[in-house]
Amino acid sequence: MKQTLITLVEDKPGVLNRIASLFRRRNFNIVSVVSGSSETPGIARLTIVVDEVDRSKRGTIYYNLLNLVNVIAVKDVSELPCITRQFILVKIEANTEKFNEIEYIVNNYGAKVVENSSESIIVEAADEKEILDQLVASLEPYNITEIMRTGKMSMRKGMTHNVSSDNTKSKLEKWQPEKINVYHN
Amino acid sequence: MNKKQLTGAEIIWDCVAKEDVSVVFGYPGGAILPAYDALEKYRDKIHHVLVRHEQGATHMADGFARASGKVGVAMATSGPGATNMITGLATAMMDSIPIVCITGQVPSSVIGTDAFQEIDITGATLPVTKHNYLVMDINELASTIKEAFHVARSGRPGPVLIDIPKDIQNESIDYSYPEDLVELPGEVKSQGANEEQVKIFAEMLKASKRPFILAGHGVIMSEATSNLMKMSEKAQIPIGTTLLGIGGVPKSNPLVVGWMGMHGDSWVNQAIQKADLLIACGMRFDDRVTGNLKTYSPNSKKIHIEIDPSEINKNVRVDLPILGDLNEVLYQVLPHLDNEDHSTWFDQINEWKRESTSRDIIHQNTDTLMGAHVLRKIWEGTKGDALIVTDVGQHQMLEAQYYEHNDPRTLLTSGGLGTMGFSLPAGIGASFHEKEREVWIIVGDGSFQMTMTELGTAVQENRNINIAIINNGYLGLVRQWQEMFYDARYSETPIISPDYIKLADAYGIKAFRVKKLNDVLPTMRKVQEQKGPSLIEFVVEKQDMVYPMVPTGADLHEMIERPASTNNLKKTIREEESLV
């Protein structure tokens, strides 16, 4: 199983570069990064997926990430219950003849046709990786011309940590002990 | 708080002076000109040292930081000035040395246009700094400098670079110094040991018959000498140091049995391999101290006290990791330890020591002057009380073997990066802190020629430094590897030197050449009596090698010992001479 890290960072120029540079120079295999704003202004939340199974190496990755000055907190959610999503856009050649079939597949996957013109059909979907893989396979016979998909986003189930806009610091301090113990027993 | 109008350039100096910095090593140039212009107003607080090359400035800041425990500061212009700092930053990064480098940058309006002397130095130094900053708003300048010093010295220390565009230096604002303490949202603070860890620590130690302490650079940086010695004494645990740990514990104390690793004491390596408990204190299991990881100390439980969580389980799996400041953790653990007796274990280690010592070159008479003998004499001639700065190579290993240090911060050496050319500038930097001890720079002929340009700095600043060049006409340690592992094909390791006496003379430096063992101490006395820089060239045996040695990747206990006599050595010398 791959390692999934939810990471809070200061939203400053170059922070993504610092993370990418760390992974490159430490020879960690990055699979995907999804970055965007969080519920708190000035703080971004990332989902980073790493191809590493060895537990002690996972610890090294975790702590190296944590050591970056602009990284506020890291949570390894690889083995925790999470909602995970990827987003995909699939472009298919226009096909009036079989549009009904395509629409049936799309509806079946909870996906959506977001463009239907004389040239092309664009389908969007957000789901777990495996489901999206199946969707792509089902659409394969209709001549896919372009695929654009994001990496994985994860969110832990239940009430866990929040970086609320008020009182950010005290909430983060409660995080600290958790930072230390994950890999050390 | 009164606000007053200051330029960015003035803010730089005001903030640097507020960090208890009294000396800055640097080199002016286009993009840093405003800062140098403003320096005039801060002369009473800050002494600026004009270096000859920006690499020298970083090593000087590094040497100053290692000697003093304070943050060292270096300054340079944009472009080539900044890129010349990269080696010094990397050196400080690998050895966790707190330095702050301030570089000028082209005006913010032209950043990204390949302007004259523009380089993306924050991008270029990303892997060799703990953190770096590009200041694009003068309102953030003061808080950034303050944060940079905090980052450099807190947690596991390291180098920080601040890049400041020229227009930010020229701009003026209503300024007051940011008095608030720096709080970084993501900072991991030392938590010390918890109750359970202390309990397990004590139990592991109680169960152990052959415990061994590995004392690293962290002992010095955390100022943990006293508590570490208390632990060692109470529970009777032998201590071995890493290269950078030398001086962290007093060599004169029999509890301190030696140093470990590739050229370390064979009995220390034996002890590590045979131990049933390793207590690693502020060290990182570098490949130069572990040898083959698969066979490293196979039967021991391992405790690792370390401030940087990313070091835990990086190379060696440990049983009890304790994250925190070493001195704090030792203080917590000490009251829970019982008095122990491990005399059989000490006897065993001393037995190994006797076996190994008999082969030591130091007990052999030789026709030619040996590097080892010179280092031993320097130890004698300085009563073991000098501040030694070494370069990188055979002389560095010989120093660690034959100069016994009893105090922290008396051996400054580039360990992790192994930067040739480190010693002269680092020694100059250290001399700005060291007022009591003699400063001796021990350097090989190869290393010296990398940064000897800083002789000019030493003279201009009239530093009290003694330079000891151990000249064997080879890049000795590389030559040693060629002899051992490349069938004695000495590819590009013979190296000529200038006439060092004439070179020194050109700079107005007193210099002497020594070729005989009996001349070492009298010549040392001559330079010890005088002020200002001095130089002694020791012409030593060309072909000698550093023993013992663990070849790269070999098991730590499989050390190559010095051959029983030096006859073989003499033979090869003769063969070589007959070829010439």
Residue A183 pLDDT > 80, yes or no? Answer: no
Across B209-238, average pLDDT: 98
Question: Is B127 in CB contact (< 8 Å) with chain A?
Answer: yes
Residue among A14, A66, A169 whose CB faces B188 most closely: A66
The residues in B 150-189 lying below 8 A from A, measured between CB atoms, are: 151, 183-189
| Residue-level pLDDT at A177 | 37
Going across the sheet that includes B131-134, the strands are: B47-50, B23-26, B72-76, B99-105, B160-165, B131-134
| Residue-level pLDDT at B1 | 55
| Residue-level pLDDT at A165 | 36
Residue B578 pLDDT > 70, yes or no? Answer: no
Map residue B391 onto helix, strand or coil: coil
| Residue-level pLDDT at B549 | 94
CB contact (8 A) between residue B127 and residue A180: no
Residue A50 pLDDT > 90, yes or no? Answer: yes
Q: Which of B279-288, B368-377, B562-571 has the lowest mean pLDDT?
A: B562-571
The pLDDT mean for chain B works out to 95
CB contact (8 A) between residue B312 and residue A59: yes
Q: What angle do CA A118, A119, A120 make, to 5 degrees?
A: 110
For residue B126, the chain A residues in CB contact (below 8 A) are: 17-18, 21
Residue with the bigger pLDDT between B222 and B309: it is B222
Q: What is the pLDDT of residues B465-518, one digit of tens each?
A: 999 999 999 999 999 999 999 999 999 999 999 999 999 999 999 999 999 999
List, in sequence order, the alpha helices (H) in B128-247.
Answer: 141-153, 166-170, 195-207, 217-221, 225-234
B224 touches B326 (CB < 8 A)? yes
For residue A59, the chain B residues in CB contact (below 8 A) are: 312-313
CB contact (8 A) between residue A63 and residue B189: no
Q: Which of B3-12, B105-114, B285-294, B350-359 has the lowest mean pLDDT?
A: B350-359
Residue among A56, A69, A180 whose CB faces B309 most closely: A180
Residue among B187, B317, B323 whose CB faces A180 most closely: B323
Residue B208 pLDDT > 70, yes or no? Answer: yes
pLDDT band at A55 (very low <50, low <70, confident <90, very high): confident
Residue B51 pLDDT > 60, yes or no? Answer: yes
Residue A168 pLDDT > 90, yes or no? Answer: no
Across B34-48, average pLDDT: 98
Residue A124 pLDDT > 50, yes or no? Answer: yes
B186 touches B219 (CB < 8 A)? no
Fold of A3-81+157-181: Alpha-Beta Plaits (3.30.70)
CB contact (8 A) between residue A67 and residue B313: no
Answer whether A3-81+157-181 and A85-149 agree in fold: yes
Structure pTM? 0.93
Give bridge partners of residue B535 from the DSSP assignment: B467, B511
Give bridge partners of residue B175 from the DSSP assignment: B4
Q: CATH number for the A85-149 domain, one of 3.30.70.1150, 1.10.150.120, 2.40.50.180, 3.30.70.270?
A: 3.30.70.1150
| Residue-level pLDDT at B352 | 94
For residue A176, the chain B residues in CB contact (below 8 A) are: 188-189
Best mutation site among A38, A170, A173, A184 for testing chain B: the one with the most B CBs within 10 Å? Answer: A184
Residue B123 burial by CB count (10 A; 0-12/13-18/19+): exposed, middle or buried?
A: middle
For residue A68, the chain B residues in CB contact (below 8 A) are: 131, 186
| Residue-level pLDDT at A178 | 42
| Residue-level pLDDT at B2 | 65
Across A169-174, average pLDDT: 38
Q: What is the pLDDT of residues B65-78, one digit of tens each?
A: 999 999 999 999 99
Distance, CA of B224 to CA of B465 (rounded, Å): 29
- Interhelix angle for A15-25 vs A55-67, to 10°? 140
Residue B431 pLDDT > 60, yes or no? Answer: yes
Neighbouring C-beta atoms of residue A27, cutoff 10 Å: 6
B35 touches B73 (CB < 8 A)? no
For residue B123, the chain A residues in CB contact (below 8 A) are: 17
CB contact (8 A) between residue A177 and residue B308: no
CB contact (8 A) between residue A69 and residue B321: no
| Residue-level pLDDT at B355 | 86
Map residue B393 onto helix, strand or coil: coil
| Residue-level pLDDT at B190 | 77
Best mutation site among A15, A63, A168 for testing chain B: the one with the most B CBs within 10 Å? Answer: A63
Residue B57 pLDDT > 70, yes or no? Answer: yes
Q: What is the pLDDT of residues B438-470, one digit of tens each?
A: 999 999 999 999 999 999 999 999 999 999 999
Residue A167 pLDDT > 60, yes or no? Answer: no
Rounded to a whole number, what is the distance in Å from the CA of A19 to chain B's nearest CA?
A: 10
CB contact (8 A) between residue A176 and residue B189: yes
| Residue-level pLDDT at B566 | 53
A47 touches A5 (CB < 8 A)? yes
Distance, CA of B551 to CA of B322 (rounded, Å): 31
CB contact (8 A) between residue B186 and residue A168: no
Rounded to 10 degrees, the C-alpha dihedral B521/B523/B526/B527 comes to: -100
For residue B308, the chain A residues in CB contact (below 8 A) are: 63, 67
Category of B433 on φ-ψ map: left (φ > 0), alpha (ψ -120 to 50) or beta: alpha
Distance, CA of A83 to CA of B66 (rounded, Å): 49
Q: What is the pLDDT of residues A80-91, one digit of tens each?
A: 999 999 999 999
| Residue-level pLDDT at A161 | 55
Residue with the bigger pLDDT between B199 and B575: it is B199
Across B314-327, average pLDDT: 94
CB contact (8 A) between residue A68 and residue B186: yes
Distance, CA of B339 to CA of B329 (rounded, Å): 19
**Domain spans, chain A:** 3-81+157-181, 85-149
CB contact (8 A) between residue A169 and residue B185: yes
CB contact (8 A) between residue B131 and residue A59: no
Residue with the bigger pLDDT between A171 and A100: it is A100
Distance, CA of B126 to CA of B129 (rounded, Å): 6
Q: What is the pLDDT of residues A5-46, one digit of tens each?
A: 999 999 999 999 999 999 999 999 999 999 999 998 999 999
Q: Which residue from B114, B138, B118 is spatially nearest to B31, judged by alpha carbons?
A: B118
Distance, CA of A2 to CA of B517 (rounded, Å): 63
**In terms of DSSP bridges, do strands B4-7 and B239-241 run parallel, antiparallel, or are they unpaired?**
unpaired
Domains, chain B: 4-175 (3.40.50.970), 195-355 (3.40.50.1220), 361-546 (3.40.50.970)
> ipTM greater than 0.90, yes or no?
no
Q: What is the pLDDT of residues B103-149, one digit of tens each?
A: 999 999 999 999 999 999 999 999 999 999 999 999 999 999 999 99
Distance, CA of A153 to CA of A164 (rounded, Å): 20
Best mutation site among A10, A11, A67 for testing chain B: the one with the most B CBs within 10 Å? Answer: A67
For residue B140, the chain A residues in CB contact (below 8 A) are: none
Give me the residue label for tokens 């030197």: B497
Residue B396 pLDDT > 60, yes or no? Answer: yes
Rounded to a whole number, what is the distance in Å from the CA of A84 to chain B's nearest CA?
A: 25
Q: Which residues contact B363 (CB under 8 A, 6 or more apart)?
A: B357
- Of all residues in chain B, the percent with pLDDT exceeding 70 is 97
| Residue-level pLDDT at A172 | 41
The pLDDT mean for chain A works out to 87
Q: What does the buried/exposed string (b/e) look like for B329-343 if buried means 16 or more CB atoms within 10 Å of the residue's CB?
A: bbbbbeeebeebebe
